[in-house]
Amino acid sequence: MSRGTEYEVVVERGKIQEFAAAMQCDDPAYRGPHAIAPPTFLTSAALWAPEGARVDVGFDRRRLLHGQQEYVFHGPPPWAGQVLRVVERIEDRYEKAGKRGGRMRFAVVVTEYRAEDGTLVAEGRSTLIETAPRQEGAQ
């Protein structure tokens, strides 16, 4: 299956604090020099991906839905100052009939977050859905 290009993410203390503030969370674990990243913080790592690094699932963005997201942590959560190596890969592709006709395409994308020594820190698994094209004459 297809794979993106590996890129680096530095887990920044300020970004952790901003993320926690956006969640309206005042947990002290997300503040200060020893801050840990909230569980869904890794979603923001995609914002730091260089142009072309992310895997291309080949879907029409005008018909794209984000169907599901989950994270699995293989140890403690990432912490302020940690450097992660990130890469995406397509794990699965499949199709289903759409409820309004046509076929819907699905892609399961796994994002691996590894420490500098190669240890797997976390995995993100997202299901992307391309809805069926609108049928001629459909309301």
Question: Tens of pLDDT along 88-117?
Answer: 999 999 999 988 788 999 999 999 999 999
* CATH number of the domain located at residue range(s) 7-130 in this protein: 3.10.129.10
What distance in Å separates the CA atoms of residue 118 and residue 11, rounded to the nearest whole number? 16
- Does residue 91 come out as left (phi exceeding 0), alpha (psi in the -120 to 50 range) or beta? alpha
Mean confidence (pLDDT) of the chain: 93
pLDDT given for residue 16 in this prediction: 95
- Which two three-digit tokens encode residue 119? 């240890």
Contact, 113 vs 122, CB < 8 A? yes
pLDDT given for residue 99 in this prediction: 81
pLDDT band at 137 (very low <50, low <70, confident <90, very high): low
pLDDT given for residue 138 in this prediction: 53
